[in-house]
A and B are shown apart, each in its own frame.
Chain A
Amino acid sequence: MKMLLVAEYRQKKLLESYTELLAFAGQFGAECAMFLVGDGAAELPKFAGRLYLADVATYGEYNPDAHKRLLLDVVAQEQPEMIVFSHSSYGWDLAPRLAASLKAAQVSEVVAVDAGRLVVPACNAKLRRTVAGNGAVTIATLQAGAFSLADAAAGSPEVIAVKGEGQGRVALLGYEAAEHGGVDLTKSEVIVSAGRGVGKPENITLVAGLAKALGGEYGASRPVVDAQWVEHNRQVGTTGLTVSPKLYVACGISGAVQHLAGMKKSEFVVAINTDRDAPIGDVADVFAVADLKQLLPVLTEKLQAL
């Protein structure tokens, strides 16, 4: 099988996630070429194969029209059977553009390979779909962290410079850094997080109370932050913080992959949830099937009495 892997360059850096693409390709024993809009003078992906490199100074970090055209040219040369992206803000933006142009099937957020077929999650990871493309080319985007190389990436690529039209209809004006300041959750040994299951802002105090009784800090899932019940510097997940405390208590959090990515390295995980099928169960050491509004006050009181 021939694969074209699409690496990423953001805020003047090559993203490490290209190694996940290599790991995925490895499962197929595929012959790989790579595409990157990056900087030839800086770090390049480590692998032995053809690297089609377009200069980021000309084509920008986010210029989907130009990147799509460049990629289409490389696809025409390489004739890959599969084109592989990360399921990232770059990949999920660019892949469907290419898929529509090539009339190729796109399989989004691949988590596993099963007998050569791609497996993707559905319904907040409560279900899994095994899918197959109908045509000569399939486009896949890979869930962050789903594939990893056993050994460090190695080798140096054969660089082939690619050029094309640089214009695009969407202009990147600049970046805005994540909001920081205030409490630093990453330093906390105990984190008790509030999810949408808390129901209303007043119930954040239940979560904060338990955190205090355990000598830790409280965090939150994204909907709770979006609703402005909790500040963004306490959000755990792909668009918030990555934490690895000794104890993580998820209260009313379903366990979406973007949340898990931020807390699954915690040493011990307790889930408090009314739905015993909630995917947070995949990472929980203890799963209390309970209404947090009932359990938290009792638990907090008992801890304070210790």
Chain B
Amino acid sequence: MKLLVCIKQVPDMESKFKIDTDGVWYDRGDLAWRMNEYDEYAVEQAVQVKEATGADLTVLCIGPDQVKETMKKALAMGCDRGVHIADDQSHRRDPFQIASLIAAFARDKGFDLIFTGMQSQDRGSGQVGVMAAELLGLPAVTTIVGFALAGNTITVKRELEGGVKATVEATLPALVTCQLGLNTPRYPTLPNIMKAKKKELLTVAAADLSPADALLNTVKLTFPEKKGGGVFLEGDVGEVADRLIRILKEKTSVLA
């Protein structure tokens, strides 16, 4: 059995964002980068399937050279090899183009199961996985919070609104997009981090996979207007606590 997991490198969401000079995306300098949170669940699930079945597991990431750092984490979590689709323009790509690159790479490789995150943390389109499945002619199930594989069949739980879940079945080959809470992503151990350094990390140029044309353009990136109008309390915690209690006494009835 052959497995593929697609991961994206994203900035830490607690970063202070600045807008780049073109005004269409965030400035990439001074940011700390990590694996998209949803993709950690995808990697964990893929590694669990690999451990249960002895399957072969490839991790794929599209982006500039720096994404290799994030790929190393996936390798240390248990992926067998990495495929880096080198693309300095990845930030100019829309979800359809990213999906077309994934599909172009995966097309003749005979993957039985493809895992993606349900969405990215920075852009959050929630499109790439499903579009890649469409381009590859595979059935796809989104937003999974439960996964079981028996023979050629996957039985997954899709998360719906309000905590309701739908149980859904599909036959391999298939693609699933992973939601938070699907499993407990492991922390790579030191020996596994060392081992990961020796694993194969192939680089393919994006141009060789002839990505599709963009369907979407970012016109501009802006900061939202602050709607809050709330009071900020800062400084010594004792004083912050006193001021907060005073406000709660004035503005609410809960301390009455």
| Residue contact B164 to A99, C-beta cutoff 8 Å | no
A124-153 interface with B by 8 A CB criterion: 124-135
A41 on the interface (CB 8 Å rule)?
no
Of chain A, the residue at the smallest CB distance from B231 is: A286
Whether A121 touches B124, Cβ cut-off 8 Å, given contacts A11-B164, A88-B161, A299-B241, is yes
Contact with A along B225-237 (1 / 0, CB 8 A): 0111011111001
| Residue contact B123 to A122, C-beta cutoff 8 Å | yes
B124 CB to nearest chain A CB (Å)? 7
Q: Tell me which residues across on chain A come within 8 A of B216, comparing CB atoms.
A: 105-107, 131-134
Name the contact of B161 in the complex, choosing from A121, A232, A238, A282 (C-beta under 8 A).
A238
| Residue contact B252 to A247, C-beta cutoff 8 Å | yes
| Residue contact A190 to B230, C-beta cutoff 8 Å | no
Name the contact of B164 in the complex, choosing from A133, A177, A303 (C-beta under 8 A).
A177
| Residue contact A97 to B134, C-beta cutoff 8 Å | yes
Q: Tell me which residues across on chain A come within 8 A of B237, comparing CB atoms.
A: 290-291, 294-295, 298-299
Whether A108 touches B124, Cβ cut-off 8 Å, given contacts A246-B254, A270-B244, is yes
B190 on the interface (CB 8 Å rule)?
no
C-alpha spacing A62/B158, complex, angstroms: 11
C-alpha spacing A281/B228, complex, angstroms: 6
Tally A residues with Cβ within 8 Å of B.
Answer: 96
| Residue contact A133 to B245, C-beta cutoff 8 Å | no
Contact with A along B17-34 (1 / 0, CB 8 A): 101000010100000000
Q: Tell me which residues across on chain B come within 8 A of A107, comparing CB atoms.
A: 216
A24 CB to nearest chain B CB (Å)? 18
B89 on the interface (CB 8 Å rule)?
no
| Residue contact A108 to B164, C-beta cutoff 8 Å | no
| Residue contact A284 to B130, C-beta cutoff 8 Å | no
Q: Tell me which residues across on chain B come within 8 A of A269, comparing CB atoms.
A: 230
Q: Give 24 A-B contacts (CB < 8 Å), ordered by A residue.
A: A87-B126, A88-B161, A103-B212, A126-B17, A127-B26, A129-B24, A129-B221, A133-B217, A134-B215, A170-B139, A170-B168, A171-B169, A172-B166, A176-B157, A176-B164, A178-B164, A239-B163, A270-B248, A275-B14, A281-B230, A285-B230, A287-B233, A288-B234, A294-B237
| B contact set with A: CB distance below 8 Å | 11, 13-14, 16-17, 19, 24, 26, 94-96, 99, 118-119, 121-127, 130-131, 134-135, 139-143, 155, 157-171, 174, 180-181, 184, 212-224, 226-228, 230-234, 237-238, 240-242, 244-245, 247-248, 251-255
